[in-house]
Structure 1
Amino acid sequence: MSYFVNEKSIVREIWKNTDAVLLIFAGSAAEFTLNKAVDWLYFTGKIPTNPLERLFSTVEYAQNIVFAENDLALATIDKITQIHQGVEKSRGQTIPDWAYRDVLYMLIDYSICSFELLERKLETPEKEEIFDVFFRLGIRMGLKNLPTNYNDWLIDRTIHLENNLQKGEFTIHLFEQYKKHLGNSRYFILLEIQKILVPKIVYKMLFKTSNFPTKTLLKLYKFGKTLKVDHLVKVILLPKKHKESITNIGKYETL
C-alpha cells in the first residue's frame, strides 16, 4: 500500500499531535493577517466570519493528505485546487502564485517550530523531509517557482517575509474576529502563544513586548501530558462547543 507521506515520516508524527497542529494554525493565523493577499479571505467571507470552524475544516484537509493512501491524498489536493480555482473564477481574478507559496511556506515553517517547541529539536534530514512533503503538495497543485530543496526554501522564506507582508485594516479585523470567537481569556492565550511562534519580522509588525511566562506555561502543559491531563487543558483553551472537533484532530494519535 502506497502513501503520500511515509508511515514512519516525521511529518506524520507532527500532524497526529493535536498540540502541534493547533500551534501550527495559531502561528499561521497570526502571520496570514499580514499577507498582502489576505483580501482573498474576504471574498468568500468564510474565515473572517467563522475562523474556528474554518480552522478545523483546514486541519481535516491537511490530515487527509498526510495520512491517506497516495491516490486519496492526491484526490484531496486536487479538490483543494479546484476549490481555489472556483473562487478565482467567481472573482474573475487569479490568486497570485506567491500567495500560494506563502501558505505552503507557513505550513513548513510552523510544522517545524511547533514540534520543536513542544517536543525536541529536529535534525536537518527531518526538516528536509518536512520540506519535501509540502514541496510535492505544491507541485501537485501546479505552483510555480518553488525552491527544490530545504536550504533554498530557507532563503525564499526570508524573501517572502520581507516582501509580502503589510499591516492594514484586514489585519485588525481578523484579530477582532479571533477575539470575538475565542473570548477575552482564550484570545489572550492565543496572542501569547503566537508571540513565541512567529518569525521576528511578524512579531515586530503585530505585537508589543510581553513579560508573560508563556514558555513556562508550555513546560507545565507538557508535564500535564505525562499526567494525562492535557485534554483538560485543550478544553480550557478552546470553547466547549469545539470539543468534538478537537478530539477529531487527535484521531491519528495512536498510529
Structure 2
Amino acid sequence: MDYFVKEQSIVRKIWGKSDTILFIFAGAAAEFALNKAVDWLYFTGKLPSDPLGRLFSTVRYARMIVFAPKEEANKAIDTMRKIHSAVEENRGATIPDWAYRDVLFMLIHYSISAYELLEAKLTEAEKEEVYNVFYRVGDRMGLKELPSNYIEWLPVREAHLQANLQKSAFTADLFKQYKKHLGSMRFKVLIEGQKLVCPDKVKTMLQFSDFSLLTPIVPIYKVSRLMKMDWLLKGILLPADYKDQINDLDVYRR
C-alpha cells in the first residue's frame, strides 16, 4: 500500500497522539487570531461560533492526509482546496496565497514544537521530514513560493511572522470565543499551553509572559502517560462533550 506519509514517519508519531495534536492546535489558535487574513475565518462564521468543532473538523482532514493511502490523502487535499475555492466564490474575493502559506507554516511549526515539548527533540532529518510532508500538501493545493526544504523555510517563516500578524478586533473576539466555549479554567490552561509552543513574536503581540504555569506540570504529565493516568488529567482539562473525539485521536497509545 502506497501512503502519502510513510508508516514509520515521525509525522505519524506526532499526529498519532491526542495531547500532541491539542498542543498543535492550542498554538495555532493563538497565531490564527493574529493573522491579517483572519477575517476570512469570520466570513463563514464557523470558527467563532464553534471553535472546538472547527478544531476537530480540521484534525479529521489532517489525519486523513497523514494516515490514509496516497490516493485518499490526495482526495482530502483536493477537497480542502475546493472548500476554500467555494468560500472565495461566495465572498467574491481571493484568499491571499501568503495566507494559505501561513496556515501551512503553522502546521509545520507547531507539529515540531508540540512534539519536542511532550516527547523529545527532533533531529534535523526528522524536522526535514515534517517539512517535506506539509510541503507536498501545499504543492498539491497549488501554493506558490514554498521553500524547497526545512533550512530554507526557517527565514521565510520568520519573515511571515514579521509581516502577516497584527492585533485586531478579530483577535480580541476570537479569544473571547475561546473563553466562552472552554470556560474560565480551561481557557487559562489554553493560555498557559500557548506560552509553551508559540514563537516569541506571537507571545509578544499577545502580551504573554515568558513563564508558563504548565512548565512544572509537563514532566508530571509525561509520567502520568507512562502510568496510563493521562486520561484523568485530560478528563479534568477538556470538555466532556468531546471526550470520545479526543480519545479517537490516539493512534499510538502507550
TM over 0.5: yes
Root-mean-square deviation (CA, aligned residues, Å) is 1.2
- Look up the SS of the partner of 2:148 in the other structure: coil
1:190 match: 190
Deviations 1:147-194 (A, max 9, x none): 111111001000000000000100000000000000000000000010
- What is the 5 A alignment of 1:100-249? 100-209=100-209, 211-249=211-249
Mark the CA change 1:50 to 1:232 in structure 2 (over 3 Å): closer, same or farther. Answer: same
1:92 match: 92
Give 1:161's aligned amino acid.
Answer: L
1:253 match: 252
Q: CA deviation at 1:208?
A: 3.5
- Look up the SS of the partner of 1:215 in the other structure: coil
Counterpart CA distance in 1 for 2:158 and 2:212 is 28
Mark the CA change 1:248 to 1:42 in structure 2 (over 3 Å): closer, same or farther. Answer: same
Find runs of 4+ consecutive structure 1 residues off by over 4 angstroms. none
Q: Which runs of 5+ in 2 are unaligned?
A: none
TM-score by length of 2: 0.98
1:69 match: 69
Counterpart CA distance in 2 for 1:193 and 1:89 is 36
Count of aligned pairs: 254
Counterpart CA distance in 2 for 1:208 and 1:82 is 36
Counterpart CA distance in 2 for 1:212 and 1:195 is 6
Counterpart CA distance in 2 for 1:141 and 1:156 is 19
Query: Higher mean Cα deviation, 231-240 or 114-123?
Result: 231-240
TM-score by length of 1: 0.97
Mark the CA change 1:182 to 1:153 in structure 2 (over 3 Å): closer, same or farther. Answer: same
Q: Which runs of 5+ in 1 are unaligned?
A: none
Deviations 1:13-63 (A, max 9, x none): 100011111000000000110000000011000001100011011101100
- % identical aligned pairs: 55
